Structure 1
Amino acid sequence: MTSAAGTLLRAAHPGPALAVTVLSCLLGLSAGLSPARVATVTAAVLAGQLSVGWSNDLRDRVRDAAVGRSDKPLATGAIHVPTVQRACAAAVVATVVLSLACGVVPGLVHLVCVASAWAYNLWLKATVASWLPYAVSFGGLPVFVHLAGGSPPPAEVVAGGALLGVGAHLLNVVPDLADDAATGVRGLPHRLGARRSTLLAVALLVTASVLLLVTSSMASAPTVLWAVLVAGLAGFALVGRGRAPFYSAVGIALTDVVILVVR
């Protein structure tokens, strides 16, 4: 990978993009999609995530520069705005084509998920409704994947995905609260503060865990082990100090992802 390509990729939030893309692939495999359909679903989600990441950095480049975000290529001038704009436009076109290649109805569902994430970037991020796009996009992801295979997902999977999304939103913002406050961003986590955001995230993620486990077809022994793990992490989140609650909540989020796939 050339240096220019690597810099462009860094502007696309590669960590979250990869995580959501891998989750969609695993959901497709667990839902019994054919290899070709899994590949198309995964490619559509990857394209959508790249468009969301690039649009986010394009939108926030002035704020990122104001707070000295050295990890943001647009803010540091390591990459030019037109380059990212062209890449973002290409990702949008690819998202539309690949989504509709999965079928009209599932394709439209995925496009709603991507549009919801764009709405967060462009508008809802700084409002009390900042959680809503995460609920829509994460709740809609299993709908897209399952419909691409010809059948709707179980309702509890949709609800679990939505809860996971809101919890992930709260956790994702907590490390950036100070920088966001300095640039006037006032989403739900900013209004709650770090401690209450983390505790609410824990509550939502534990609820998602319980919902997914009690409706699971897994044997009782694995279910108990997952429940004990979630309970232990929740306990650390409640009594821990410093960054321990945050990392414990992240652990619950990762556990929920695994449960969502293997249930």
Structure 2
Amino acid sequence: MSSTVLGLVRASHPEPTAAVTAVAALLAAGVGHSVGGVAVVTLTVAASQFTVGWTNDLLDAERDALVGRTDKPVAAGTVGRRTVTVAAALAAAATVALALSTNPVAALWAVTGLLSALLYNWPLKSTVISVLPYAVSFGALPAFVVSALPGAPFPPGWLPAAAGLLGAGAHFANVLPDFADDARTGVHGLPHRLGPTGSRIAAIGLLIAATVTLALGPPGPPSGVGLAAVVAAVVIPTLAWYAGRTAGHGAARPVAVFRAAMLVALIDVVLLVASGRLI
């Protein structure tokens, strides 16, 4: 793999990109898309995620260089800004084109999610409403997946609501490893105003709320799988919080709660697929 390709992969925020794309693929299969439909949904979401990740690294390059983030290819100079800019533009165009290949309603949801995420990158990242783009973009994801089905059905309200709660929780978890760096570079989003403890509480509370919504939202009594998912949503972030605290201040950038959020997201998708009651 060439250094440029490797740099682009690293600049795309590969962990969340892979996780969100996997969520989209599993959701698409769960709601009944054909193999071709699953492929289109997956590629659309992947392109959108690449756009957001690359744009984020471009906008944050100076901040990342200031705090010595050698894991950031643009800031470290291992991949050129022009290369990443072109890649982000192509990915954005691919997102729109792929989404339009489904139907206009689904395309609107996909573009809404993309634009919301880009607005987080600039200018909302350092504002009191920094959580809003996460909630909107995550909520738009299942709405896109469902409405991309033939006939463009409208998603049940509990589905984007649960995804929005999950996205909001992911925002608070995502910021936790970067508190020290963000303080040095003047980033003051909602998690920074609440502080590390408040953000951990918000992340865990929102993740639990998302899972409860998924367990109780579909018609009928909650399944055993749904109840087990609620237990997991309580236990996993709590253990991650404890692991992060016991790691000590001298540990490398803590990512325990962030990774717990990604794991709970995948558990929630399994809950959705297993329920068989999405639409």
Contact in 2 for aligned 1:143/1:152 (Cα 8 Å): yes
Alignment partners' CA distance in 1, 2:169 and 2:55: 22
| Superposed counterparts of 1:8-23, under 5 Å | 8-23=8-23
Moved more, 154-163 or 235-244: 235-244
Where 1:71 maps in the other structure, the secondary structure is: coil
Given the alignment, which residue of 225, 241, 256 partners 2:268? 256
Partner of 1:95: 95
Matched, 1:158 2:167: no
Where 1:193 maps in the other structure, the secondary structure is: helix
Partner of 1:44: 44
Residue 226 of structure 2 aligns to which amino acid in structure 1? T
What residue ranges of structure 2 are gaps of 5+ in the alignment? 248-255
Contact in 2 for aligned 1:164/1:205 (Cα 8 Å): yes
Given the alignment, which residue of 205, 208, 217 partners 1:206? 208
Alignment partners' CA distance in 2, 1:260 and 1:222: 10
Are the structure 2 counterparts of residues 166 and 243 from structure 1 closer, same or farther at C-alpha, using a change threshold of 3 Å? farther
Where 1:242 maps in the other structure, the secondary structure is: helix
Are the structure 2 counterparts of residues 36 and 185 from structure 1 closer, same or farther at C-alpha, using a change threshold of 3 Å? same
Partner of 2:245: 242
Alignment partners' CA distance in 1, 2:246 and 2:270: 23
Alignment partners' CA distance in 1, 2:57 and 2:246: 26
Are the structure 2 counterparts of residues 183 and 97 from structure 1 closer, same or farther at C-alpha, using a change threshold of 3 Å? same
Shift of 1:259: 2.3
Alignment length, in residue pairs?
A: 263
Moved more, 223-232 or 105-114: 223-232
Alignment partners' CA distance in 1, 2:10 and 2:34: 32
Contact in 2 for aligned 1:110/1:141 (Cα 8 Å): yes
Shift of 1:222: 2.7
Alignment partners' CA distance in 2, 1:200 and 1:65: 29
Are the structure 2 counterparts of residues 197 and 44 from structure 1 closer, same or farther at C-alpha, using a change threshold of 3 Å? same
Shift of 1:252: 3.9
Residue 60 of structure 2 aligns to which amino acid in structure 1? D
Contact in 2 for aligned 1:199/1:238 (Cα 8 Å): no
Are the structure 2 counterparts of residues 29 and 180 from structure 1 closer, same or farther at C-alpha, using a change threshold of 3 Å? same
| Superposed counterparts of 1:1-263, under 5 Å | 1-149=1-149, 150-216=152-218, 220-233=223-236, 236=239, 242=245, 246=257, 250=261, 251-263=263-275
Are the structure 2 counterparts of residues 235 and 156 from structure 1 closer, same or farther at C-alpha, using a change threshold of 3 Å? same
Shift of 1:237: 6.6
Shift of 1:186: 0.2
Residue 228 of structure 2 aligns to which amino acid in structure 1? L
Contact in 1 for aligned 2:215/2:223 (Cα 8 Å): no
Alignment partners' CA distance in 1, 2:111 and 2:259: 32
Are the structure 2 counterparts of residues 224 and 112 from structure 1 closer, same or farther at C-alpha, using a change threshold of 3 Å? closer
Alignment partners' CA distance in 2, 1:181 and 1:261: 40
Q: Percent identity?
A: 46
Alignment partners' CA distance in 2, 1:169 and 1:145: 22
Alignment partners' CA distance in 2, 1:104 and 1:247: 34
Shift of 1:235: 5.4
Shift of 1:262: 2.9
Alignment partners' CA distance in 2, 1:220 and 1:62: 49
Per-residue CA deviation, residues 208-245 of structure 1 (Å, 9 max, x unaligned), is 11111123468743333333333434654787770688
Alignment partners' CA distance in 1, 2:244 and 2:178: 18
Moved more, 138-147 or 87-96: 87-96
Residue 95 of structure 2 aligns to which amino acid in structure 1? T
Contact in 1 for aligned 2:207/2:264 (Cα 8 Å): yes
Are the structure 2 counterparts of residues 80 and 146 from structure 1 closer, same or farther at C-alpha, using a change threshold of 3 Å? same
Q: Pairwise CA RMSD of aligned residues?
A: 2.2
